[in-house]
Amino acid sequence: MFDRLDDLLRRYEELMLELNDPSIANDQVKFRKLMKEQSDLTPIVEAYKEYKGCKETVEESLAILDEESDEEMRELAKEELNVAKERIEELERQIKILLLPKDPNDDKNVIVEIRAGAGGDEAALFAAEIYRMYVHYAETKRWKVELMEFEEIGIGGMKNVTFMVTGSGAYSVLKYESGVHRVQRVPETESGGRIHTSTITVAVIPEAEEVDIQIDEKDIRIDVMRASGNGGQCVNTTDSAVRLTHFPTGIVVYSQTEKSQLQNKAKAFALLRSKLYDMECQKAHDAEAEARRSQIGTGDRSEKIRTYNFPQGRVTDHRIGLTLYKLDKIMNGDIQEIIDACIAADQAAKLSKLDESA
């Protein structure tokens, strides 16, 4: 591990020299690439430098204890020694986490698909609420949310909704939201006051760029049509909606949220590329893909990652055994605590696997 850290430290120092070269600033592509590499290395380098500093403190404190007879100096040395040793343990764990293999998609924007599962209209209402929850969360992160596709029902629910979230590290955070979400409550449409259980599915897909996926024109059919549902002026009166059918996979995507046919076409292609990229990622990582398929599920009540219990005001994430009694805040977008806990559990599992293989 330390040989690798020394190599990373040398590379970081090389990067700093390159970035200070005036000629690099004229090549914006190379400059951005170097800045990205420097940004990725900074947390590791800072932690390693602190680790080395703590190691030096331990050696100096031990030397004082061996040579110094003054009791006051010895007590100070003991205190510094204990503090440095504790910090070394913390830094070792932090560095191990920083050195874990990074998901290549973590820095990507995401496309999120929410679909109503079991529960009829109540599931559609909950899908709309979860969509708003993610929109509010994105606002707190100052991320941009762009609606791509949706199908509403008359009482304010959504049978399905697809949207893009644009922001630094969006996939690294939102990927933990993939799975079946279950709601338990008395529906507004229920006159008997009985608690119902409904489900929705959330799929989080990394955005694919054209360099990631090339689509052959002969493999797709493009249909244009008039948009349906509640739209603004011109939306329902022109053939602006676009549907793409990808013959090799059978994937069909649809976009109608823009007034312009060209804009809808661009959105549809972005969605298709991302779905095809997601399929390629699953093929390349069979074990990970199998786990992911079991998370995304089909909307059945037995496949769940999280339960939102309205009568008790609680949210439980079943993967990590976390229960929070702040349902109102969570539905308003305050999901950071859940995501942080998922990230910590994921890192702990990876570290455990790493220790087993060491």
246/336 same-domain check = yes
Please tell me whether residues 48 and 181 are part of one structural domain.
no
Tens digit of each residue's pLDDT (9 = 90 or more) over 278-328: 877 777 665 554 444 444 343 443 468 999 999 999 999 998 999 999 999
Is residue 67 within 8 A of residue 60, CB to CB? The reply is no
Same domain membership, residue 184 and residue 42: no
Do 12 and 127 fall within a single domain? no
Question: Are residues 143 and 275 located together in one domain of the fold?
Answer: yes
| The pLDDT value given to residue 294 | 40
Q: Which of these, 352, 358, 356, 357, lies nearest to 93 by C-alpha position?
A: 352
Domain boundary at 79, 98, 117, which? 98
301 and 155 in a common domain: yes
Written as one string, the DSSP assignment of 307-350 is: EEETTTTEEEETTTTEEES-HHHHHTT--HHHHHHHHHHHHHHH
Question: Which CATH number characterizes residue 38's domain?
Answer: 1.20.58
Q: Last residue of some domain: 98, 131, 161?
A: 98
Same domain, 125 and 60: no
Give the residue numbers spanning the domain of 206.
Answer: 105-358
- Helix ranges, 99-211 (H): 121-140, 170-174
78 and 125, same domain (yes or no): no
Q: What is the pLDDT of residue 289?
A: 46
Same domain, 175 and 207: yes
85 and 114 housed in the same domain: no
**Same domain membership, residue 224 and residue 140:** yes
- For 33-54, the pLDDT digits (tens) are 888 888 889 999 999 999 999 9
Total tally of structural domains belonging to the chain = 2
Please name the residues in contact with 344: beta carbons below 8 A apart, sequence gap of 6 or more: none
Domain end (from 55, 76, 98): 98
Q: What is the pTM of this model?
A: 0.73
Whether the Cβ atoms of residue 127 and residue 105 lie closer than 8 Å to each other:
no
Residues 30 and 158 in one domain: no
Tell me phi and psi for residue 223, to 5 degrees. -115, 135
Q: What CATH number corresponds to the domain at position 326?
A: 3.30.70.1660
pLDDT of residue 49: 94
Neighbours of 9 (CB within 10 A): 16
Kindly give the confidence (pLDDT) of every residue in the chain, 358 residues in length, as a single tens digit, with 9 standing for 90 and above: 778 888 889 998 988 888 888 888 788 888 888 888 888 899 999 999 999 999 999 999 999 998 878 888 899 999 999 999 999 999 998 898 888 878 888 888 999 999 998 888 899 999 999 999 999 999 999 999 998 888 888 788 899 999 999 998 899 999 999 889 999 998 876 666 788 889 999 989 888 876 667 788 788 888 887 776 544 444 455 678 888 888 888 888 888 877 778 888 888 888 888 888 887 777 766 555 444 444 434 344 346 899 999 999 999 999 899 999 999 999 999 999 999 999 989 888 888 777 666 5
